[in-house]
Amino acid sequence: MRVDELDTPVPVIDLDRVEHNLAKMQAYCDLHGLKLRPHIKTHKLPAFARRQLELGAVGITCQKIGEARVMAEAGCADILLTYPVVGATKVAPLAEVAARTRLTVALDNAVALETVARAAHLAGTEIGVLVEFDSGDGRCGVQSADEALELARRAHGNGPLAFRGFMTYPHGPRTAPFLAAARPLFEAAGIPVETVSIGGTPGCWDAHLVEGATELRVGTYIYHDRATVGAGVAAPEDCALHVHATVVSRPTATRAVIDAGSKTLSSDRVAAAVGEGYGHILEYPDAVITRLNEEHGVVDLSDCDTRPAIGERIRILPNHVCVVSNLHDAVVVGRNGTVVDTWPVAARGCTR
Amino acid sequence: MRVDELDTPVPVIDLDRVEHNLAKMQAYCDLHGLKLRPHIKTHKLPAFARRQLELGAVGITCQKIGEARVMAEAGCADILLTYPVVGATKVAPLAEVAARTRLTVALDNAVALETVARAAHLAGTEIGVLVEFDSGDGRCGVQSADEALELARRAHGNGPLAFRGFMTYPHGPRTAPFLAAARPLFEAAGIPVETVSIGGTPGCWDAHLVEGATELRVGTYIYHDRATVGAGVAAPEDCALHVHATVVSRPTATRAVIDAGSKTLSSDRVAAAVGEGYGHILEYPDAVITRLNEEHGVVDLSDCDTRPAIGERIRILPNHVCVVSNLHDAVVVGRNGTVVDTWPVAARGCTR
């Protein structure tokens, strides 16, 4: 079957473009002596995680324990969880993953450290710890090298915990100053820093410029999207996932309605400099998806020379591909416009 | 188990509040002689659809064929699909639903009408048609009574199609003018208008003021959310679904990070007049969820007198509850703070 005969809306992934994107990132990391640890939150597919490992990734990155469980069951033997797991309810699930795989958890506080320590005890196995630092993003992360040292001291030599280094996301302007401040402190304390893990697709091609970084975590690079193209790190022809949709109504001369709304594309926007609306329609680049309801996309055709008819199929480059993957129970994978298979998105909805 | 012992993030539904909301809307419709046809897109749960029918709903409303399939299999015998189904790929799935239930489809164009006619032929059963008109929302719908008549003529007496009336969403200022213009046209053409279906929770308590309306479609009223409370149609104590989350990081004095991001809450916003941010935290009403990443919610605590500790649990009233339901494979239902059951969201992800 041709991909353009599929029922819509449907996310369709081009396997050749995926392979190109994976190989290019691995080659970049190899060239610069960086370890690559892909973030699977973008695809949530065991088959692609295994392919990333085959191509040379040292392990994978997951955001939630549920994702890690799916990937450990799929055979991923080295997992970094870049999320502070906190509280009693997390101990048993984390221990379960730790028993199956070499696990490292990034964290920025003592409560998370205690949670991880309890899981390690329960599993009877070592769990690695990276201390997350805030390099300018203003999300998680310790604010100073002193705070990092205090946490590292609690992890270093603490029973089954193993302090392994630092993590930040995305690597921002305070990465180098933090590392410069931390090095002498950690040296003086006799705590080795094995790993400095940085991440984020928008800054991926500058990763080799971050002095001291040992590892790159990237997720979106597998598919790319309107945001990463807009950030200048990918070309439109690198984009591997498009949502195929159908024009279901043309109420006025300048308005179309498509069968892809926020339950298909998400409500994520892109920076104003990148573009307007909720996705880029390949066939009508001057059209703007001005509004999404749950199942409707409202398209302004005012600036289009030609305009689609009811029943016409279009392809949409999503603003943010990671949240699109997560909305769909399954994705279609294809090659040269032909359907190869349909894959369940195995780690979809793993928010815990 | 208590609901506040559940692993987070997790959507928790209060069954007593659901029952209150369902009964109140049914009583309102009964009082005013309106038929109630709840939209199941909000909950996507067969158990609640059946309860809505038990309380007196004449049938249910679905947005996509996949939702209708799930609900027909669950025993819903009368389904209105308020979506223009268009194209060859829709014929067989629509026929499958039509063979199981009394089906009506709303549409605003001849291509959709032809699709529905083919499905009716294939199923060998009647499918009802409502013509959707635009009453001011600027999404789908014919723009004039003349257009409506043209479509109705094609449906009326067209083999297994049965023209049943009009539908609009939400009922806006052009509802009355449209109906006033349409009545004489349809009378002159000898085409009876059995149903005038209006909808939308924000305008629900004014539905009885819409002259000529016979049927009310509402979805959000089952749970309510920050948007419907903000619209003044529900009180905070009517809200039946909250996302329970945990504070996982406190990087600075004024910042908390919670384990609920856009994959848990969605990126849907509310009108500026209703409030800032991505949800309302019950325990910290002055806190603002300023930013969501996929699994992180960043909370500004600047205006809070007291501030949560790491590990503390909070409850979030979502901005838009319909998209929250759709993000989760399962929801927890409870009563008086105690877990009653966990239900799979059976029609989750049914975008086709």
With beta carbons less than 8 A apart as the criterion, state whether A162 and A152 touch: no
**Of A226, A224, A220, A208, nearest in space to A171 by CA:** A208
Residue with tokens 């416009």, as numbered in its chain: A337
A342 touches chain B (CB under 8 A): no
Residues 6+ apart with CB under 8 A from B280: B226, B316, B317
How far is A276 from chain B, CA to nearest CA, in Å?
16
Is pLDDT above 80 for B237? yes
- CA dist B264 and B54 (Å) reads 31
pTM of the full structure:
0.98
How far is A87 from chain B, CA to nearest CA, in Å?
6
With beta carbons less than 8 A apart as the criterion, state whether A163 and A129 touch: yes
With beta carbons less than 8 A apart as the criterion, state whether A231 and A286 touch: no
Q: Which two tokens stand for residue A118?
A: 């309890």
CB contacts of A65 in chain B (<8 Å) are: none
Catalogue the E-assigned strands of chain A: 10-14, 35-36, 60-62, 78-81, 102-107, 127-132, 161-167, 195-199, 215-217, 241-252, 255-258, 280-281, 288-292, 297-300, 313-317, 330-335, 338-344
**Of B335, B93, B60, B64, nearest in space to B216 by CA:** B60
- CA dist A10 and A3 (Å) reads 9
Residue numbers of A between 148 and 207 with CB closer than 8 Å to B: none
With beta carbons less than 8 A apart as the criterion, state whether B201 and B218 touch: yes
Query: Do residue A86 and residue B247 have CB atoms under 8 angstroms apart?
Result: yes
CB contacts of B268 in chain A (<8 Å) are: 262, 267
How far is A31 from chain B, CA to nearest CA, in Å?
31
Phi and psi angles of residue A333, each rounded to the nearest 5 degrees, phi first = -110, 140
- CA dist B130 and B53 (Å) reads 21
CB contacts of B348 in chain A (<8 Å) are: 329
A225 touches chain B (CB under 8 A): no
| DSSP string for residues in A149-190 | HHHHHHHTTSTTEEEEEEE-SS--TTHHHHHHHHHHHHHHHT
The per-residue pLDDT of chain B, averaged, comes to 97
Query: Do residue B298 and residue A86 have CB atoms under 8 angstroms apart?
Result: no
Element (H, E) at A123: helix A110-123
Is pLDDT above 80 for B224? yes
pLDDT of residue B319: 98
Is pLDDT above 90 for B329? yes
pLDDT of residue A272: 95
Phi and psi angles of residue B290, each rounded to the nearest 5 degrees, phi first = -80, -20
pLDDT of residue A159: 82
DSSP bridge partners of A47: none
A20 touches chain B (CB under 8 A): no
Question: How many CB atoms are located within 10 Å of the residue A259 CB?
Answer: 27
CA-based radius of gyration for chain A: 22
**Of A232, A196, A180, nearest in space to A34 by CA:** A196
With beta carbons less than 8 A apart as the criterion, state whether A284 and A301 touch: yes
| C-alpha neighbours within 13 Å on the C-beta side of residue B148 | 33
- CA dist A293 and A320 (Å) reads 17
β A241-252/B330-335 pair status: unpaired
Nearest-CB residue to A143 (from B63, B247, B252): B252
Q: How confident is the model at residue B158 (pLDDT cuts 50, 70, 90)?
A: confident
B294 touches chain A (CB under 8 A): yes
Domains and CATH numbers, chain B: 3-9+228-344 (2.40.37.20), 32-222 (3.20.20.10)
| Dihedral sign (CA A124, A128, A134, A137) | negative
pLDDT of residue B151: 97
Is pLDDT above 90 for B39? yes
| DSSP string for residues in B195-216 | EEEEE-GGGGGGGGGSTT--EE
Is pLDDT above 90 for B303? yes
User: How high is the mean pLDDT in each 10-residue block of chain A (352 residues)?
Assistant: 98 98 98 98 98 98 98 98 97 98 98 98 97 97 98 90 97 96 98 98 96 97 98 98 98 98 98 96 98 98 98 98 98 98 98 98
Residue B92 Cα distances to B32, B66, B85, B120, angstroms:
38, 12, 12, 10
Residue contacts between A and B (CB atoms, under 8 Å): 175
pLDDT of residue A157: 80
Q: How confident is the model at residue B157 (pLDDT cuts 50, 70, 90)?
A: confident
User: At residue A346, what is the residue type?
Assistant: A
CA-based radius of gyration for chain B: 22
How far is B31 from chain A, CA to nearest CA, in Å?
31
Question: What SS3 state is found at A53?
Answer: helix
Residue B264 Cα distances to A138, A159, A207, A304, B141, angstroms:
20, 34, 30, 36, 32
Whats the size of chain A, residue-wise? 352
- pLDDT tens string B238-290: 999 999 999 999 999 999 999 999 999 999 999 999 999 999 999 999 999 99
Residues 6+ apart with CB under 8 A from A331: A11, A12, A13, A45, A241, A325, A342, A343, A345
Q: What is the mean pLDDT of residues B107-126?
A: 97
**Of B148, B171, B125, B113, nearest in space to B105 by CA:** B113
